[in-house]
Amino acid sequence: MGRGYIVQDDVEGYLSKLCEQKADPVTGLLIGQSSTQRDFVVMAIRTPQKEESAAAARNSVDKEWVTEHARQVSRMLPGGLSVVGVFIITNADAKDALTTLRQLLFAVENLISSEHLWDPADDDVTDCVTLHINPKTRKTVCRTFDIKDPKSVAKPADWKYQSGLCSSWATVSCSLNVDMLLPLPNNRTSTGNMEECLKEGLKAWAHQIESGLCLIDGKRLPEDSELTVGQRRNVRQTYTAQLLITTVRDENKRLTDVIEQCGGSVSVTGAIHSRAYLHSNKPKARLAEKLLKRDVVSTVATRVQMMLEELLASDQESKGKLFCLPHRIFCPLKVSGPLCVCDYQFSDEGLSEVTERLKEMLDIDAAEEDLDTRQEMTFEITGCDITPGGHRDMHACVLCPDCPPFCCLGVAMATAVALLATAASMLYLNDI
Amino acid sequence: MVVVDSETATVLRVKGLLEFRCQLDGTDEQLVRNVISRTFETLRSQVKSESCVLAVSDSPVIIWPNKDAYATPEEITPSTLCEDMHQWIQADEQESSGKKSSKKKSKKSSVASVINLRLMTEVTKPGPLSAPILTKTVLKSHFVSVTLPLDCVVCTGRSDTIKDACEQLIEALTHQLCEMEKVTLQNMKGMTLLVPEPVHFLLPEPKGLVTVVYPVGVPDSQLVAQRKELHQQFELPDDRPYFRRANAYHFPNEPYKDGYLRNPHLALTHPTLDNGKVYLVQGIYSYHHYMQDRVDDNGWGCAYRSLQTICSWFQQQGYVELPVPTHKEIQQALVDVGDKQASFVGSRQWIGSIEVQAVLSHLLGLTSKILFVSQGAELASKGRELANHFLTEGTPVMIGGGVLAHTILGVAWSETTGQIRYLILDPHYTGAEDLQVITDKGWCGWKGPDFWDQTAYYNLCLPQRPKVI
């Protein structure tokens, strides 16, 4: 017996429209949630056009481009939603199409899982779906592969459309404080080294989150208990989670390694909003906990990664700096139900850049009014009194050596002030 | 430092690890001390904040001590009695999700029960909150990163509520952090720092349970001054140790890693004699007997096992750090003092009280008295001597005679009637560490004077306690 995919009916219309396009092949990603009993697909996203590609290249599948797109998309999915498969719309031979799909699927899934900071769980579903649609006949061929097994063969699977699929999905969310302080190595403290340290620190922090206690709506539920009680269609089920963590002793650390020389330090402090969606087919507390924890870890890791990419791109070699990580914005999907995708907005960007990215990456038409910006607050620094260079460049909130330290701040939160006090006391110790 | 007395109904023990991290941007001593103190202050605020959480082990109960003792599940309120918490604790592998359906545990009258709690941090807060910031400092400096092992004990009475307990627990935790700060700063030498570690000691009534913070890695021999101070503070005699690491209190619900039984005699009912009193070994020993440690010494090793029991007593009372010697090590010691030929090592030859005395002296630096009786019947008249021994020295006694060796753990003796019973720990037992079997079948039990061979001669080795702290 193969797997059964239940698909939001909007996806049918979307794929149909893609069939009418002249381009061949058209590839894309399938987004949804897999459980042991059933699999759900809520969205399909076509691979965006590569601008500089030659006309000839447009007719072949660029595997690297597809995987890079998948990686970007994966960052824009809250907990519970992930890339569950790939599709291709092509007149080509079914066998060739399946081979291409298989290659794409493994490349995509391997790249995405290589970036995870958590270990796979025993109850993770490792089957992913490939969909081949012939644009002329509209015939769809649906197969699954076990991506844990490189020798996996295609297994047939059901593909069924249903309306109102997500209307009664549950949402579990929380706002969570992050507070990390890590030493930088004693040699060159370039951005590259900072990346290493942050990756290690994030891994240790991710382990803490994974081993933490999870309360849902204030209660510690047994793992196998079902989450939704008295399920009714079209009723929003929202749950608030609390996470309790404890320090995990590093067994490898010798008692003598208490003080070490370092070349500086890096800290990440602040709060994030985390969210996970759960399918409506009797989800268990264990699943809610797993998906939420993974979202917590990936949202922090994603932002740090994005910040590092920015720094590398703009080549900021600096002595003492403070950087605002991008904050998370949610955009509801047009389908009825609680599902949202998300994006990260840097402090110097406007909402128009967000809507542009949503269109380019996720093929979503969203208006600025649709965006939910209220889940996280930006850390605000309002201009300096003495600004020889008129530093209004908020991008990365760079404090250049010319700018005297924190003369005036229009900061919203008391915690932020405390943070700045600590940061300021450490920052200007370099000699210029 | 808290006291456990007969009023105590429940002992609450909270353990947790706190990360101590800071950057030292200079090596000036005063600056370093300031940064360390400030970091400890941050940890103290953390413990007093609303994100501090206490999770009761083996139960679904979670308490926020700084939020007016708010707890989940909702049946637990700030005015719930501490001793009622036992209903929520599952001792074995059942799902710890709800109340036990069975009746309340019947408590032993004199032993306070222990509830273990874990110190945790809640990282979630109602939003929206400020998005994260990454701060980078570039400066050649030093980074301090320690995991502090917090371990506090609080004793609560029958009428104490969760709210009372929380106040005491938070106070104990902040106090311990202060102690840790003191010990850390005291032991700082330049750029090295020792990790402070709490150790609990059970002092004689009415002082009870006391917690001391010691620096990890510093041996007992270098902490004499601290122990002297503690002996003075608690008005303890200065000729026996109470605060060596080996004296650390072993909580009743913690298993021993080595698998040996401790003090099986405590499970017995002691005899009552007319005008008689019971004089017992003081402190903790392990039961060593035939066939343990994969050594088949059935038929020849009884004196060795008795000697091992004695060594275990000295080790666990903190007088020696040497682990309990093996048969070969015992034999080698006798060769080393010239008592036996080299071929003795690896043999199955018996030893007697004199050899036991020699090994205790050579390996552990201890002196022992030898008591000789020419006939077993005479042992009945040694009540006073044995009673005195257990009163002043309190060490286990090895008795060898004829063909058998045993360990005497105590006597019940009446000065007026002369009636006497001997508490015997028998090293001839070959079974598993089953307390029920050992006590039921008398492998550890009270024996009368007819236990001894009335015509054989016996030598007793009475180890003496060194007068040290």
Average pLDDT over residues B145-166: 92
Asked if A191 and A156 sit in the same domain, the reply is: no
User: Does residue B206 have a cis peptide bond before it, meaning omega lies within 30 degrees of 0?
Assistant: yes
Average pLDDT over residues A36-47: 92
Binding-face residues of B in 18-57 toward A, CB within 8 A:
18-19, 21-25, 51, 53, 55
Task: Quote the pLDDT of residue B298.
Answer: 94
Q: How confident is the model at residue B447 (pLDDT cuts 50, 70, 90)?
A: very high
Report yes or no: A201 at the B interface, CB cutoff 8 Å: no
Tokens found for residue A72: 């970007």
Q: Which of A6-15, A179-188, B408-417, B446-455 has the lowest mean pLDDT?
A: A179-188
Specify the residue for token string 């060159």. A188
CB contact under 8 A, A219 and B72: yes
Answer yes or no: is pLDDT of A89 > 90: yes
Q: Which of A313-327, B97-111, B171-185, B201-215 has the lowest mean pLDDT?
A: B97-111
Would you call B6 exposed, middle or buried from its count of C-beta atoms within 10 A (0-12, 13-18, 19+)?
exposed
Give the closest of A255, A327, A419 to B131, CB-based: A327
CB contact under 8 A, B140 and A264: yes
**pLDDT tens across B258-268, in order?**
889 999 999 99
Asked if A151 and A205 sit in the same domain, the reply is: no
**pLDDT tens across B413-434, in order?**
999 998 999 999 999 999 999 9
Average pLDDT over residues A269-278: 94
Beta partners for residue B11, in sequence order = B114, B155
Specify the residue for token string 């089953």. B434
Number of inter-chain CB pairs under 8 A, A vs B: 223
Element (H, E) at A419: helix A414-427
In a domain, A313, yes or no: no
A268 in Cβ contact with A72 (< 8 Å): no
Asked if A205 and A146 sit in the same domain, the reply is: no
CB contact under 8 A, B127 and A241: no
Mapped onto helix, strand or coil, the DSSP state of residue B107 is coil
A109 in Cβ contact with A145 (< 8 Å): no
Report yes or no: B129 at the A interface, CB cutoff 8 Å: yes
Higher pLDDT, A190 or B239: B239
B307 in Cβ contact with B315 (< 8 Å): no
3-state secondary structure string, B44-91?
HHHHHCCCEEEEECCCCCEEECCCCCEEECCCCCCCCEHHHHHHHCCC
Average pLDDT over residues A409-426: 40
User: Does residue B255 have a cis peptide bond before it, meaning omega lies within 30 degrees of 0?
Assistant: no
Asked if A240 and A113 sit in the same domain, the reply is: no
Question: What is the least distance, in Å, from the CA of B248 to any CA of chain A?
Answer: 21
**pLDDT tens across B340-359, in order?**
999 999 999 999 999 999 99
Instruction: For residue B124, list chain A residues with Cβ-Cβ distance below 8 A.
Output: 174-177, 241-243
B16 CB neighbour count, 10 Å cutoff: 22
Q: How confident is the model at residue A252 (pLDDT cuts 50, 70, 90)?
A: low
Query: Taking the alpha carbons of B176, B178, B180, B182 in that order, is the dihedral positive or negative?
Result: negative
Asked if A13 and A41 sit in the same domain, the reply is: yes
Asked if A32 and A146 sit in the same domain, the reply is: yes
A248 in Cβ contact with A208 (< 8 Å): yes
In a domain, A288, yes or no: yes
Q: Are strands B458-463 and B208-215 parallel, antiparallel or unpaired?
A: unpaired
Higher pLDDT, A264 or A321: A264
- Residue of chain B with shortest Cα separation from A321: B136
Task: Quote the pLDDT of residue B10.
Answer: 87
Residues of B that are catalytic: 302, 426, 428
Answer yes or no: is pLDDT of B194 > 80: yes
CB contact under 8 A, B195 and A258: yes
Answer yes or no: is pLDDT of B110 > 50: no
Select the highest-mean-pLDDT range: A191-200, B245-254, B412-421.
B412-421
Asked if A230 and A148 sit in the same domain, the reply is: no
In a domain, A408, yes or no: no
Question: What is the least distance, in Å, from the CA of A42 to any CA of chain B?
Answer: 28
Question: What is the least distance, in Å, from the CA of B59 to any CA of chain A?
Answer: 10
Which amino acid is it at A348?
A: D
Task: Quote the pLDDT of residue A315.
Answer: 65
Q: Which of A162, A184, A206 is the last residue of a domain?
A: A162
In a domain, A70, yes or no: yes
Which amino acid is it at A115?
A: E
Task: Quote the pLDDT of residue B325.
Answer: 96
Question: What is the least distance, in Å, from the CA of B293 to any CA of chain A?
Answer: 29
Q: Which of A135-139, A169-173, B87-91 has the lowest mean pLDDT?
A: B87-91
Q: Mutation target for B interface from A188, A259, A274: give the one with most B CBs within 10 A.
A: A259
Average pLDDT over residues B97-110: 43
Domains and CATH numbers, chain B: 10-89+112-122+142-247 (no CATH), 264-463 (3.90.70.130)
Give the Å distances, CA to CA, from B37 to B182, B242, B352.
Answer: 9, 30, 58
Task: Quote the pLDDT of residue A323.
Answer: 87
Which residues are within 8 A (CB) of A69 and not within 5 positions of it... i.e. 6 or more apart? A29, A47, A48, A361
Higher pLDDT, A399 or A117: A117
In a domain, A382, yes or no: no
Task: Quote the pLDDT of residue A379.
Answer: 65
Question: What is the least distance, in Å, from the CA of A351 to any CA of chain B?
Answer: 17
Instruction: For residue B123, list chain A residues with Cβ-Cβ distance below 8 A.
Output: 176-178, 212, 243-245
A67 in Cβ contact with A107 (< 8 Å): yes
Which amino acid is it at B318?
A: G
CATH number, domain of A54, equals 3.40.140.10
Model pTM? 0.80
CB contact under 8 A, A304 and B97: no
Which amino acid is it at A124?
A: D
Task: Quote the pLDDT of residue B158.
Answer: 86
DSSP string, B238-254: TTS-SSSGGG----TTS
Task: Quote the pLDDT of residue A281.
Answer: 78
Q: Which domain holds residue A208?
A: 170-293
Q: How confident is the model at residue A235 (pLDDT cuts 50, 70, 90)?
A: low
Answer yes or no: is pLDDT of A119 > 80: yes
Average pLDDT over residues B108-131: 81
Higher pLDDT, B185 or A399: B185
Q: Which of A82-91, A118-127, A339-348, A409-418 has the lowest mean pLDDT?
A: A409-418
Which residues are within 8 A (CB) of A106 and not within 5 positions of it... i.e. 6 or more apart? A145, A147, A150
A242 in Cβ contact with A174 (< 8 Å): yes
CB contact under 8 A, A263 and B139: yes
- Residue of chain A with shortest Cα separation from B36: A259
Answer yes or no: is pLDDT of A56 > 60: no
B62 in Cβ contact with B74 (< 8 Å): no
Q: How confident is the model at residue A334 (pLDDT cuts 50, 70, 90)?
A: confident
Asked if A60 and A105 sit in the same domain, the reply is: yes
Question: What is the least distance, in Å, from the CA of A325 to any CA of chain B?
Answer: 5
Q: What percent of chain B has pLDDT over 90?
A: 68
Q: Which of A149-163, A280-294, A371-385, B108-122 has the lowest mean pLDDT?
A: A371-385
Instruction: For residue A206, list chain B residues with Cβ-Cβ distance below 8 A.
Output: none
Beta partners for residue B118, in sequence order = B15, B55
Task: Quote the pLDDT of residue A221.
Answer: 86
In a domain, A320, yes or no: no
Give the Å distances, CA to CA, from A313 to A37, A52, B64.
Answer: 44, 20, 45
In a domain, A395, yes or no: no
Higher pLDDT, A3 or A255: A3
B419 in Cβ contact with B276 (< 8 Å): yes
CA distance A399 to A386: 13
Answer yes or no: is pLDDT of B320 > 60: yes
In a domain, A54, yes or no: yes
Report yes or no: A419 at the B interface, CB cutoff 8 Å: yes
| CA atoms within a 13 Å half-sphere pointing along the CA-CB vector of A393 | 11
Q: Which of A259, A293, A327 is the last residue of a domain?
A: A293
Binding-face residues of A in 41-100 toward B, CB within 8 A:
none
Answer yes or no: is pLDDT of A428 > 70: no
Answer yes or no: is pLDDT of A417 > 60: no
Diameter of chain B by CA atoms? 89
Average pLDDT over residues B381-386: 93
Q: Which of A264, A293, A322 is the last residue of a domain?
A: A293
Give the closest of B21, B121, B134 to A266, CB-based: B134
Answer yes or no: is pLDDT of B387 > 60: yes
Q: Mutation target for A interface from B34, B46, B123: give the one with most A CBs within 10 A.
A: B123
Answer yes or no: is pLDDT of B13 > 70: yes
Task: Quote the pLDDT of residue A308.
Answer: 87
Closest CA to A268 of A200, A212, A207, A339: A200
ipTM of the complex: 0.81
Report yes or no: B190 at the A interface, CB cutoff 8 Å: no
Q: How confident is the model at residue A394 (pLDDT cuts 50, 70, 90)?
A: very low
Asked if A205 and A253 sit in the same domain, the reply is: yes
Give the Å distances, CA to CA, from B315 to B252, B284, B285, B364.
Answer: 19, 9, 9, 9
Answer yes or no: is pLDDT of A6 > 90: yes
Q: Which of A158-172, A301-315, B347-361 has the lowest mean pLDDT?
A: A301-315
Q: How confident is the model at residue B40 (pLDDT cuts 50, 70, 90)?
A: very high
- Residue of chain A with shortest Cα separation from B149: A249
Q: How confident is the model at residue A190 (pLDDT cuts 50, 70, 90)?
A: low
Asked if A142 and A176 sit in the same domain, the reply is: no
Asked if A146 and A34 sit in the same domain, the reply is: yes
Report yes or no: B122 at the A interface, CB cutoff 8 Å: yes
- The total of structural domains in chain A comes to 2
Q: Are strands B458-463 and B444-447 parallel, antiparallel or unpaired?
A: unpaired
- Residue of chain A with shortest Cα separation from B190: A259
Report yes or no: B134 at the A interface, CB cutoff 8 Å: yes
Task: Quote the pLDDT of residue B105.
Answer: 41
Task: Quote the pLDDT of residue A165.
Answer: 86
Asked if A10 and A149 sit in the same domain, the reply is: yes
